[in-house]
A and B are shown apart, each in its own frame.
Chain A
Amino acid sequence: MIATLKALIWKDLRLFLGDRRAVLMSVVTPIAIASFFGYALGGAGKDVKRSRIPVLVVDRDQSAISRDLFVRLGAQEALEVKPSTPDAARDAVRKGKSMLAVEIPKNFGEDAGRAFFGGAKKPQIDVLYDPSHSAEQAMVKGMLAGEIMQVVSKEMFSGKGGSAVVDESLARVEGSNAVPPSQKKALLDLLHSVRNWNNQTGQGTGSSTPSQGLTLPYEMHEEAVTSSAGVKYNGYAHAFGGMGIQFILFVGIDVGIALLMLRQRGLWKRFRAAPLSRGMLLGSRTISAAITSFAVLMVLFGFARVVFGVRIEGSMAGFLSICAAFSFMTASFGLLIAALGKTPEATRGLAIFVTLLMVMLGGAWIPTFIFPQWLKNVTLIMPTRWAMDGLDAMTWRGLGFSGAIGPIAVLSFCALLFGALAVARFRWEES
């Protein structure tokens, strides 16, 4: 029976290799798409110039503070800052030409200074943003807050405007009955100290000695954690894993559809007339599909290794085991399609929908961390999520074999589950 099994498997492999279109779809297409995604998602860790976030600033104040703020925002590497007018800024954001616009109101410098020392009403900065770029909005807001604190405090502790505000604040606090006596004294002491500071540094009288104002009380050291220190993140690893998963699932669909079509032909009768078990018939199909899937994955990652330098930074055994488990899962998924489908035509559309859903929820297109929590929980039942995590773990994350055990177990379980369901539901007799 081994000879029979080998003959059936070899036949499937020859049919696959003989179908240039199938080979093209299974190998060349995912390579092309993964190359694009890999480049777009960070490439191979080389210094690629990233696109900056376009931000428009409407300065209605034209004070030293607002001008300094404009300069500082423009110095941010992530931002591309341009001046604008209120109407033009709103129009640009609406048309998607700018992700965000910041409108600095009149008297911002003075009002912010008064508010800085408490009591006075805070000036309002209007932020117009493109709702399809909420992540960028949050990022720019953080930068804006930091820069405003810095320019306002700088002006208060050293600028001409700051001295005037301090004097004005001293007069206001001294004449105020609303402030409790104990707090009034502390506040007056603080303002006197600031005036003394300004006088000593000379900034209030036009000295050129620089002052930083209030700054963030820490320095940030950022490090992308990959397989080991100094190894840069290679975006192609994730992209090739994702596209590999997607297109191998398409191989699974082809397996199912081919089996459905086979049943419509006399060939199925010839197979069934032979003294072959059902396990032999479906098993040979499973093995050949798994071999095909595994080979496609190897070709994809081989290409990624040679062209984009994607390395298996973790366990090679773990990587191969995950690929093998995913290949068998795909093969049994194909059998399940054949078992549940009635006609190739009716089944193909539904199978593609289910596959794309699995791919999407598996994080092959977009990372799962941006999903809502409930959706993240749902993705845990997706074998594609485990395959994706497993491939990431074995490639750029550089985890050991222990990091592969979970994905291997889940994928193997899914392979058995799909296979068992397929055998149970497979219609052996045509009606």
Chain B
Amino acid sequence: MLEAKALKKSYGAVTAVDGISLRVDKAETLGLLGPNGAGKTTTVSIIAGLLRPDSGEVLIEGRPLRGDTDPVKRNIGLVPQDIALYDELSARDNLALFAALYDMSGAKRDRAIDEALDLAGLTDRAGDRVSDFSGGMKRRLNLTAALLHDPQILLLDEPTVGVDPQSRNAIFDNLETLKKRGKTLVYTTHYMEEAERLCDRLVIVDHGKVIADDTLQGLHRLMPATNLLHIELEHGPDGLRLEDIKALPEVHSAELDGDLLNVGISDLSAGAPRILQWLVDSGHPYNHVASERASLEAVFLSLTGRSLRD
């Protein structure tokens, strides 16, 4: 459906995208993950035809994207990171303008506008100026404005930035509806939980390069420690030697955070009882234990040595 081949883009001495390749199949949702400045937005801009790559090419259904007026662009809907709406116009007038960009008119345009308003939950506010909308309402309208011409591929550049939890859920509901309709989504974010909830496959980029491209399960397999144990020590960490814990089988990492001992282990059922017993035997009783699966944040940390939110 969508394929980017060895994209490169530099601004002077700064290389924003350094040979990124990715492929998205029809009805698939691809998460493009990376910290700020990793090259996500530049990549999306190249795919949307906003930027011309220094080298490499973008193929939409096997056809290369060439020029500003290439009809291939009709297959793409772009949801920019910023709110891309005219505050001074009503929701309906905004949508009518954006429909006109794709030469839509008449009943077809009106139907598309009604559907977009319905999807955004703004049918009863269609005539209101966008300036009167809440941030979440604007975000929803910003999303549906990209759907008017019924593109097969939707490029979403961090569409939930600055959105309250309720509106974020509404946007996710919209996106899940679109997934069910068979749309192909490319979703850039640096929020792990969003990617985990929405994406079928994840491409992690850093410094303009792809550092991982796999399903969520596949990425977890890259992690030496797939589970984390959080153990609250009853008498604190006095006398506790982390080296001793790290020497235990199944343990990949151990660190202290006050009275909290965090231990990374590869096999929860085998490793957890052994660690807990060792703590009791060595005179470090505990009063609370919790476990969690390693997150994408941890995956990124494991792959790059730094946090996604850096």
Which residues in A have some Cβ–Cβ distance to B below 8 Å? 1, 3-4, 6-8, 11, 14-15, 18-19, 265-267, 269-278, 429, 431
B45 CB contacts on chain A under 8 angstroms: 269
**A270-B98 contact in complex given A15-B88, A429-B51, A431-B11, C-beta closer than 8 Å:** yes
Residues A3 and B88 in contact, CB atoms below 8 Å apart: no
Residue of chain A at shortest CB distance from B81: A266
Q: Report the interface size for chain B: residues with CB under 8 A from the other chain.
A: 37
Q: Which of B49, B69, B100 contacts A3 (CB 8 A)?
A: B100
A19 to B85, CA, bound (A): 16
Residue with the highest number of chain B CB atoms closer than 10 Å, among A7, A273, A277:
A273
Residue with the highest number of chain B CB atoms closer than 10 Å, among A1, A15, A274:
A274
B50 CB contacts on chain A under 8 angstroms: 269, 272-273, 429
With contacts A273-B50, A274-B102 known, what are 14 further pairs, Cβ within 8 A? A7-B101, A8-B100, A11-B86, A14-B88, A15-B86, A19-B88, A266-B80, A266-B84, A269-B82, A270-B80, A274-B98, A275-B68, A275-B70, A275-B71
**A276-B68 contact in complex given A269-B45, A269-B84, C-beta closer than 8 Å:** yes
Q: Which of A4, A14, A266, A270 contacts B89 (CB 8 A)?
A: A14
Residue of chain B at shortest CB distance from A281: B68
B10 smallest CB distance to A (angstroms): 10
B18 smallest CB distance to A (angstroms): 17
Residue of chain B at shortest CB distance from A10: B97
Residue of chain A at shortest CB distance from B76: A273
Residues B102 and A275 in contact, CB atoms below 8 Å apart: yes
Residue of chain B at shortest CB distance from A7: B100
Residues B88 and A1 in contact, CB atoms below 8 Å apart: no
Query: In residues 58-79 of chain B, which contact A (Cβ within 8 Å)?
Result: 68-71, 73-74, 76-78
A15 CB contacts on chain B under 8 angstroms: 86, 88-89
Residues B84 and A267 in contact, CB atoms below 8 Å apart: yes
A208 smallest CB distance to B (angstroms): 84
Residues A275 and B78 in contact, CB atoms below 8 Å apart: no
Residues B81 and A7 in contact, CB atoms below 8 Å apart: no
B68 CB contacts on chain A under 8 angstroms: 272, 275-278
**A266-B70 contact in complex given A8-B100, A429-B51, C-beta closer than 8 Å:** no
Residues B96 and A7 in contact, CB atoms below 8 Å apart: yes
Which residues in B have some Cβ–Cβ distance to A below 8 Å? 11, 45, 48-52, 68-71, 73-74, 76-78, 80-86, 88-89, 93, 96-98, 100-103, 105, 142, 145-146
A269 to B85, CA, bound (A): 11
Residues A273 and B49 in contact, CB atoms below 8 Å apart: yes
Q: Please name the 7 residue pairs, one residue from A and one from B, whose CB atoms are nearest each other, closest first.
A: A266-B80, A266-B84, A7-B100, A266-B82, A274-B101, A273-B78, A275-B73
A274 CB contacts on chain B under 8 angstroms: 73, 98, 101-102
A selection of 13 A-B contacts at a CB cut-off of 8 Å is A1-B103, A4-B101, A7-B101, A15-B86, A265-B84, A266-B81, A269-B48, A269-B50, A270-B145, A272-B50, A275-B69, A277-B69, A278-B68
B103 CB contacts on chain A under 8 angstroms: 1, 3-4
B189 smallest CB distance to A (angstroms): 16
A280 to B178, CA, bound (A): 31
Query: How many residue pairs between the two chains, A and B, have CB atoms under 8 Å in the bound complex?
Result: 84
Residues B105 and A3 in contact, CB atoms below 8 Å apart: yes
B86 CB contacts on chain A under 8 angstroms: 11, 15, 267
B69 CB contacts on chain A under 8 angstroms: 275-277
A220 to B306, CA, bound (A): 94
Residue with the highest number of chain A CB atoms closer than 10 Å, among B78, B83, B85, B101:
B101
Residues A269 and B78 in contact, CB atoms below 8 Å apart: yes
A112 smallest CB distance to B (angstroms): 77
Residue of chain B at shortest CB distance from A11: B97
A278 CB contacts on chain B under 8 angstroms: 68
Residue of chain A at shortest CB distance from B88: A18
B81 CB contacts on chain A under 8 angstroms: 266
A11 to B96, CA, bound (A): 10
Residues B84 and A270 in contact, CB atoms below 8 Å apart: yes
A278 to B146, CA, bound (A): 20
A19 to B88, CA, bound (A): 9
A287 smallest CB distance to B (angstroms): 15
A338 to B74, CA, bound (A): 28
A269 to B105, CA, bound (A): 22
A6 CB contacts on chain B under 8 angstroms: 100
A12 smallest CB distance to B (angstroms): 10
B202 smallest CB distance to A (angstroms): 24
A276 CB contacts on chain B under 8 angstroms: 68-69, 101
A61 smallest CB distance to B (angstroms): 76
B229 smallest CB distance to A (angstroms): 44
A73 to B96, CA, bound (A): 75
Residue of chain A at shortest CB distance from B149: A274
A274 to B82, CA, bound (A): 17
B88 CB contacts on chain A under 8 angstroms: 14-15, 18-19
A258 to B80, CA, bound (A): 19
A3 CB contacts on chain B under 8 angstroms: 100, 103, 105
A14 CB contacts on chain B under 8 angstroms: 88-89, 93
B71 CB contacts on chain A under 8 angstroms: 275
Residue with the highest number of chain A CB atoms closer than 10 Å, among B70, B97, B102:
B97
Residues B101 and A267 in contact, CB atoms below 8 Å apart: no
Residues A265 and B82 in contact, CB atoms below 8 Å apart: yes
A266 CB contacts on chain B under 8 angstroms: 80-84, 142
Residue with the highest number of chain B CB atoms closer than 10 Å, among A3, A7, A275:
A275
Residues B78 and A429 in contact, CB atoms below 8 Å apart: no
A265 CB contacts on chain B under 8 angstroms: 82, 84
A8 to B103, CA, bound (A): 11
A272 CB contacts on chain B under 8 angstroms: 48-50, 68
Residue of chain A at shortest CB distance from B146: A270
A267 to B89, CA, bound (A): 13
B54 smallest CB distance to A (angstroms): 11
Residue of chain A at shortest CB distance from B105: A3
A16 smallest CB distance to B (angstroms): 10
Residues A275 and B82 in contact, CB atoms below 8 Å apart: no
A7 to B70, CA, bound (A): 20
A279 smallest CB distance to B (angstroms): 9
Residues A11 and B89 in contact, CB atoms below 8 Å apart: yes
A270 to B146, CA, bound (A): 8
